[in-house]
Amino acid sequence: MSTFAFGTYRVSDENPLHIEALKLAIESGVELIDTSTNYMDGGAERAIAKAMAGFDQERINKLKIVSKFGYIQGSNLQKHKEKPFEDVVEFSESCYHSIAPSFCHQQLTESLERLKLSQIDCYLIHNPEYFIYEALKNEMPRDEMLDVMYERIYKAFVALEEEVQNGRINSYGISSNSFAKAANDPEFLPYEDLITLAQKAVKEAGAKEHSFTTIELPINMLELEGLKCAAWAKENGLRVLSNRPLNAQKDSLMYRLAEYEEPKEYYHAYNELLEVCDTKELENLYNLIEQMDMNKHKFGWIGDYDSFLYAQILPHIKKSIEHIQEDVREILLRYIDTFLRAYRDMVAYECSRLTKTALKEEFKDCDKKMQECALEFLLKQKDIDYVIVGMRKPSYVVEVMALKA
């Protein structure tokens, strides 16, 4: 039987609700917190430090903090442009990647500083398959690609074994989305030789027993391929962390395996904003808000809306109000903020209705909320040790932890 871990993707040290959720999770018995150097550009690690500050050392010592390195985004991307990191894969304009030993050591130093700790339980290589993506794009032969991939992982393992000897980490591992791919998928990252690489790395580092202990990968009700990797891991004495329990993919479509109540405040916020915008000067904004209301049921899942918000809606809003007098604009922005919060809740509600219809076969035996059935399914998997769940609100912590009661 597995148990729940607290996932800090999109957790920020600047959001008091996130800090309170972390504190409540620790009080409720959560023993593992999963984070990464790139989550909110280090904000997630700082949030963990703030939450831990309210507990005595005995309780903190019982917490297992798992962090990761690999991504070059945000402030790291700016540093890279000023002084390039080693062995970098340029995936996109806003996302580079490296698992070079020098980057590993530097990132761990910054993680420990943000967490206000001298040691963490486990440090993971975060999605090393970015090299595979680059190799596929360059049409590198698969055998050559895997040879280079394993060599990169081996060098990172040596660096991580050195950090174990330095006392900065207790163990290490890999978090990879590619572990959950089918074996014939070009993006699949074979895992059977990882133990051998760790054994070779610990000899290079001058120690006896390797400290490769953990793998992390996506597993959920719709994506079960990763259970093969989990079974292999348990056979080899490794700890298995499953992530993305509620964000699931099927037939190239993403679904949020959760149900939401219809937000009663939505129409009030919508009508209030329309009333404020009912002027010639704000005609474009008025039309945008009307269009958003008409299309609130057309998003496949909430992630589609979030992308559309930042790519299309916010730039349009900014352009529509840039000429408005400053004091009036500040008041208008408060109405816009209230509407956007309610609108996202409405989109989540509409998406959950679509999901329940699209996945009626998968949930035909579910007489609870979809998220409860999805999480309980994972709790029953014998080869999963921890199910990582994002719990950014205290209410989410209560709802999730109740499933273990």
Q: What is the pLDDT of residue 39?
A: 97
* DSSP of 27-46: HTT--EEE--TTGGGGHHHH
What token pair was written down for 316? 């349009």
Q: What is the per-residue pLDDT across 201-219, written as a single tens digit (0 to 9) for each? A: 999 999 999 999 999 999 9
H helix count then E strand count, the chain: 16, 13
Q: What is the pLDDT of residue 1?
A: 56
What token pair was written down for 115? 């967490």
405: pLDDT confidence band, cut at 50, 70 and 90? Answer: low
Whether residue 2 is predicted with pLDDT greater than 80 in this model: the reply is no
Q: What is the per-residue pLDDT across 320-330, written as a single tens digit (0 to 9) for each? A: 999 999 888 99
8: pLDDT confidence band, cut at 50, 70 and 90? Answer: very high
What token pair was written down for 348? 């989540």
Distance of alpha carbon 219 from alpha carbon 222, whole angstroms: 8
Distance of alpha carbon 48 from alpha carbon 116, whole angstroms: 9
State the pTM of this model.
Answer: 0.92
| Length reported for the chain | 405
Residue given tokens 């704000």 in the structure block: 282
Give the CA angle between residues 27, 29, 33 to the nearest 5°. 95
Q: Exposed, middle or buried by CB within 10 Å (0-12, 13-18, 19+), for 380? A: exposed
404: pLDDT confidence band, cut at 50, 70 and 90? Answer: confident
Residue 113: other Cβ atoms inside 10 A = 13
The H or E element that residue 114 is part of is helix 101-115
Q: Which residues contact 267 (CB under 8 A, 6 or more apart)?
A: none
Q: What is the per-residue pLDDT across 62-112, written as a single tens digit (0 to 9) for each? A: 999 999 999 999 999 999 999 999 999 999 999 999 999 999 999 999 999
What mean pLDDT do residues 141-162 have?
97
Radius of gyration of the chain (CA): 23
Instruction: Output the average pLDDT for the chain.
Output: 95
* Residue 364 DSSP symbol: T
Q: How distant, in Å, are the alpha carbons of 54, 301, 405 from that of 57?
A: 10, 41, 26
Distance of alpha carbon 109 from alpha carbon 118, whole angstroms: 9
Q: What is the pLDDT of residue 287?
A: 96
Q: Taking Cα atoms as reference points, which of 28, 27, 87, 388 lies closest to residue 214? A: 388
What does CATH list as the number for 3-255+366-402? 3.20.20.100
Residue given tokens 């149900």 in the structure block: 259
Answer for the pair 381, 2: CB distance below 8 angstroms, yes or no.
yes
Distance of alpha carbon 46 from alpha carbon 155, whole angstroms: 29
Q: What is the pLDDT of residue 117?
A: 97
Domain extents for the chain?
Answer: 3-255+366-402, 266-358
Distance of alpha carbon 335 from alpha carbon 286, whole angstroms: 12
Q: Is 352 helix (H, G, I), strand (E, B) or coil?
A: helix
